[in-house]
Structure 1
Amino acid sequence: MKTVVTTLARTYNHPSYEDPYEAVQDYNRVVEASANNPNKGSTALSTIVELPRGRIRAWVDEDGMPDAARGVMLAQRHGWVDPDDDMSVALAALAGHLLGGGSIAAKNYVPSVAAGRRVSLDEIEEAFRDVGVHPTRRHEELESRATEVLPATHGSVLGRTLAAWGCPVGGRATVETLPAIVDHASVAGQAGFLDAYVRHRAVDYPNKATSRLHGQQPIAFHQAIADLIEQVTNEHASAGDRGVTVSAAAMWALNLAEM
């Protein structure tokens, strides 16, 4: 998807471009020109593509590429940019874990998720494996820090792609809308998003199956969660300033009722 590619590219910085997406476009033009003129070096190709030789020399003569182009290529190779049904389900579920109990680091875009009362570290590791990355854990030996699961490989590119799909970066407190991957996914993907999010956030009421999803986000986000629950379950959920109240019927429909 062009919008995801553009937004993903713009999470990078490039010293020669105000807009890093233009670096991706120029790189692609250079690669195409080189394929069409296999015997020409960077000097001749710079004339063909009308770019300074100093800018493209490493792309042509040293197999280099802009970081943004490398990130886009890797994301496309993993199926994160234009996901099929299975990958959409996996990305939506991971987005639910991030919004429910994780974050994408502002410094390096690496996503991480902590366990919850209903969500084990093993399950979170499986969620990362489902999108094609190998997980690892950190802070296991620190009593003062919650153990988190994060990608051992391609973490920054995965986080940048999730950010391009609309997952918040640097915290969840100000998010107002659901990630676009939720709308892109099938009903199964939307249910998977809710399964992860609800299990991270739900606090049950005594002696009844109704649950409360506590959160500090703006009410617009809580309303979006409530609307999605009603859309997926055809049962009632209501939004408030501090979270979402999920009816017993909706919790049963989500297979999350503990009664």
Structure 2
Amino acid sequence: MLLSVKGLTHYFGGLRAVNDFNMEIEKGIIQGLIGPNGAGKTTTFNLITGMHVPTSGEIIFSGDNITGKPAYHIAGKGIARTFQNLKLFSRLTVRENIRVVQNKQGKDAAAEEERLIKLFELEKYAEYRSCDLPYGAQRRLEIARALAIKPKLLLLDEPAAGMNPSEVDNLSELINMIIKEFDITILLIEHQMRMVMKLCHKLTVLNFGEVIATGAPRDILNNSGVVEAYLGKGGASIRGKRSER
């Protein structure tokens, strides 16, 4: 098992944001973490990546206990992430955004930099500052930059946020390419259910900080508890549900 999260709980003051969260992720799959807005998904990402320290529970990654370790330590172990709200180095160029996170220099680093720029179709923007890029290119750059540290596990936090249907389809193809090209595992937060159904091998559903279902996407979307969490009593299906931003 690549990642095992056991009994993860986190409080912000008196507010319990995540409660007894359990999840296991096998190597080489795309696993979705879904749930209504405010369910605790991004907080869970922040706990896994060291941005918050859990109140209790443990996180085991590749056999190592990384619970409460700082973000740089966890990144060094092989976990990278993107953010729902883009966090690029706005005054740096595309090339510089990738270069600044690489943990090596020389010909190999330069070759990997060029590979990422080409794979993510950023060649014409290579010398542009990231703040001057179109939105879709900024999203691609953030993923490329995360991959520059050569992670084993990539966490994507709503990568399709703000995209139109055509851009969402292109992003789905890009994520499939990443799995094939980089021998990587992905944990995905996403509200675009068509994209989730297309990409994910397994889903974990959060509501009010607690796991309410885990399983194959088809089973999850027909789960009455999941439907009620999204739509309230009487909801028929969340299939095709769009983002709730």
Please state which band the TM-score falls in when normalised by the shorter chain.
under 0.3
Q: Whose radius of gyration is greater, 1 or 2? A: 1
Greater per-residue strand proportion: 2
Greater per-residue helix proportion: 1
TM-score by length of 2: 0.26
